[in-house]
Structure 1
Amino acid sequence: MSTIDSPLAAGRHDLPAHGTGWVDDVLLAGPGSETCLVLGAPITRAQLRAEVTSRQARLTDAGLRPGGAIALRLPSSLAYVANLLAAWRIGAQVTLLDHRLSRGEVERALERVGAQFLVQPAAAVVAPLRGFVTVDETVVALPAGRPAPTSHALIQLSSGSTGPSKVIGRTVDDLVAEIERYTRIDGVPRPGERLVLLASMAHVLGLVGGLLYALHAHVRLTLPERMTVGGVLGAITAESTPTTVIGVPVHLEMLMAGRPDGPLSQFVRMTTAGELVRPGVRERFATCYDTVLANMYGMTEVGVIATDLFGAHRPGVRPAPGIDVRVVDGELQVRRPVTPYVGLVDESRWSDGWLRTRDAASLDPVTGLVTIRGRLDSQVSIGGLKVDLTEVEQAILDLPGVTEVVVTFDGGAIEAYTAVEKPWTGPELDAALEDVLAPYKRPLRWQLLERLPRTSSGKVVRDVAVLRRASAGPTPS
Structure 2
Amino acid sequence: MFSLFPALVSGSVADRSALRFGDRSLTYAELAASAGALAARLDGAGRVALWATPTLETAVGAVAALLAGVPAVPLNPRSGETELGHIVGDSAPSLVLAAPGDTLPAALGALERIDVEVTTETAAEEGAEAGVEAEEGTEVVVGVTAAVRDPASPALVVYTSGTTGPPKGAVIPRRAIAATLDALADAWQWTGDDVLVHGLPLFHVHGLIIGVLGPLRRGGSVRHLGRFSAEGVARELDAGATMLFGVPTMYHRLAEALGEDPGLAEALRGARLLVSGSAALPLHDHERIRAATGRGVVERYGMTETLMNTSVRADGEVRPGTVGVPLPGVGLRLVEEDGTRIAWYEADGTPAGAYDGESVGEIQVRGPNLFTGYLNRPDATAAAYSADGWFRTGDMAVLDPDGSVRIVGRKATDLIKSGGYKIGAGEIENALLEHPGVREAAVAGEPDADLGELVAAWIVPLDLQAPPSAGELADHVALRLAPHKRPRTVRFLEALPRNDMGKILKRELPRD
TM-score in terms of structure 2 length: 0.73
Distance in 1, matches of 2:98 and 2:437, equals 40
On the 8 A contact 1:296/1:304 being kept in 2, the answer is yes
1:22-67 deviation digits (Å, cap 9, x = unpaired) = 366465543321111222334211221222134345xx3xxx5426
- Answer yes or no: is 1:79 the counterpart of 2:66: no
Cross-structure match for 1:341: 374
1:226 to 1:113, Cα distance in 2 relative to 1, 3 A: closer
Distance in 2, matches of 1:368 and 1:400, equals 30
1:441 to 1:96, Cα distance in 2 relative to 1, 3 A: same
1:194 to 1:25, Cα distance in 2 relative to 1, 3 A: closer
Q: SS of the residue aligned with 1:292?
A: coil
1:266 to 1:101, Cα distance in 2 relative to 1, 3 A: same
Cross-structure match for 1:302: 306
Give aligned pairs, total: 423
Distance in 2, matches of 1:160 and 1:449, equals 25
Stretch of structure 1 that moved more, 409-418 or 322-331: 409-418
Aligned-pair Cα RMSD in Å: 3.2
Q: Which amino acid aligns with 2:474?
A: L
Cross-structure match for 2:324: 317
Cross-structure match for 1:459: 503
1:262-308 deviation digits (Å, cap 9, x = unpaired) = 43353122111121222232221112223232121112112121111
1:161 to 1:123, Cα distance in 2 relative to 1, 3 A: farther
On the 8 A contact 1:66/1:92 being kept in 2, the answer is yes
Q: Which amino acid aligns with 1:341?
A: Y
Stretch of structure 1 that moved more, 102-111 or 215-224: 102-111
1:294-348 deviation digits (Å, cap 9, x = unpaired) = 1211121121211113450522612111112222222221114775333331633
1:169 to 1:346, Cα distance in 2 relative to 1, 3 A: closer
1:110 to 1:457, Cα distance in 2 relative to 1, 3 A: farther
1:153-180 deviation digits (Å, cap 9, x = unpaired) = 2111123456654321111222222222
Cross-structure match for 2:493: 449
- Answer yes or no: is 1:36 the counterpart of 2:5: no
Cross-structure match for 2:145: none
1:286 to 1:162, Cα distance in 2 relative to 1, 3 A: farther
Distance in 2, matches of 1:302 and 1:94, equals 17
1:298 to 1:94, Cα distance in 2 relative to 1, 3 A: same
1:401-456 deviation digits (Å, cap 9, x = unpaired) = 53333322243354434434422689933443334337764545555433233223
Cross-structure match for 1:180: 182
Distance in 2, matches of 1:179 and 1:55, equals 24
Q: SS of the residue aligned with 2:257?
A: coil
Cross-structure match for 1:45: 28
Distance in 1, matches of 2:274 and 2:446, equals 36
Cross-structure match for 2:344: none
Once the two structures are TM-superposed, the CA of residue 221 in structure 1 deviates from its matched residue by 0.9
1:439 to 1:353, Cα distance in 2 relative to 1, 3 A: closer
Cross-structure match for 2:275: 271
Cross-structure match for 1:419: 460
Cross-structure match for 2:128: none
- Answer yes or no: is 1:373 the counterpart of 2:394: no
Distance in 2, matches of 1:261 and 1:427, equals 31
Q: SS of the residue aligned with 1:191?
A: coil
Unmatched runs of 5 consecutive residues or more in structure 1: 1-11, 16-21, 126-134, 144-149
- Answer yes or no: is 1:233 the counterpart of 2:234: yes
Cross-structure match for 1:249: 248
Cross-structure match for 1:289: 293
Q: SS of the residue aligned with 1:227?
A: coil
Q: Percent identity?
A: 27
Cross-structure match for 1:218: 219
Distance in 2, matches of 1:367 and 1:279, equals 19
